[in-house]
Amino acid sequence: MAKTYNSGWQPFEKKFDERERSTTFPGYIFPFSLVHNPRTNQTRCVEDLREHWKSQATSTDPAKFASTVIKDLNKCAPTYLALRTGKEGNFPVELGQQLLVLHRLRMPQSMYSYVMKLVLENDSKKSISSASVVSCLKLLETYVVRRMFHGIESGGLLAVARGLWNNTGGDPDKMLDVLDSTPTQEFPEDDVFDKDIRSAHLYEKSDAFVTFIVDEYERGIESSEGYVERDDFTVDHIMPQTLSDDWDIAPSVHEKWLHTWSNLTPLSGGPNSKKSNRSWESTITMLKTEQSFKTTLRIANDNDRWDKDSLERRANHLVDWGLKRWPKSV
């Protein structure tokens, strides 16, 4: 058993960062058990796994049984860790990139088991192609983004996840049909998403979601420099939360647009802390010195004023971009 522990269990355990192991490893067990048995629950998942492993064992020898368990546990760990911690695994390039997108989105953990099942079927059994897996994951991203923009809570998604594999087999078209026809879990249509992009108070949603949306737009801007990861990424209001007398903005316009995506831009931590409620003239000067973010430079270079018309123009642009970035299609 010592050999099995040293050569099997320890390498598996080390996949889980020691600083986060107390939460990430226990968090792995339930979605992993759902991969094998979609009907299990938190109370009986460990016992169901034991029964599964007994059915897979080819020997009653304790060391061989332990090896069976460790080999099985390893199958989905890279996918789980990519979703939960952003750890890169040995995936096909596009699949690995899409898993990291779902990590940045902080996709509800209730959907982990379906993603883990998709990747397992592609990796171990080759029953579906990598292209189909990526299409399913992109559709799942759209589903989560549109729902979060619309203010729909994630409760009930576990019930959706339980049946997704059996009902779709990893077919993206079938997945779209299932997600679109689940009566208790709305999948917002284009007209609803259009309205939400324009009017939802994005800044008042979770910090992770606000950052994800603003950052995805930044990542989508093509440039010769490409995208650069930054530790001091913050989201700033272009029109400040408290208007000074230098701003010629009606209170109704300020209230309507303040926290919408149109009025938000990425900014480095230093400039954000200094910007405060400066006038637009002072703000635009500061934004033009922000070399880190292409979004911010574009706003500064394309707008002599920041008013209702500017906000509406940007909203129209973001709607066009958002509908293409998160289409309700495969």
Q: Is the pLDDT of residue 276 over 70?
A: no
Give the pLDDT confidence score for residue 108 in this predicted structure.
Answer: 96
Burial of 277: CB neighbours in 10 Å, binned 0-12, 13-18, 19+? middle
Compute the Cα dihedral for 103, 104, 109, 112 and give only its sign: negative
Q: Do 149 and 193 form a contact (C-beta atoms < 8 A)?
A: yes
pLDDT tens, 152-183? Answer: 999 899 999 999 999 999 999 999 999 999 98
Alpha carbon distance 1, 100 (integer Å): 36
Alpha carbon distance 262, 75 (integer Å): 43
Q: Is 142 helix (H, G, I), strand (E, B) or coil?
A: helix
DSSP E strands: which ranges in 53-203? Answer: none
pLDDT band at 8 (very low <50, low <70, confident <90, very high): confident
pLDDT tens, 97-149? Answer: 999 999 999 999 999 999 999 999 998 777 899 999 999 999 999 999 999 99
Give the pLDDT confidence score for residue 95 in this predicted structure.
Answer: 97
pTM: 0.93
Phi-psi domain of 112 (left: phi exceeds 0; alpha: psi -120 through 50; beta: other)? alpha
- Domain spans of the chain? 2-188, 193-325
pLDDT tens, 18-58? Answer: 777 788 888 999 999 999 999 999 999 999 999 999 998 88
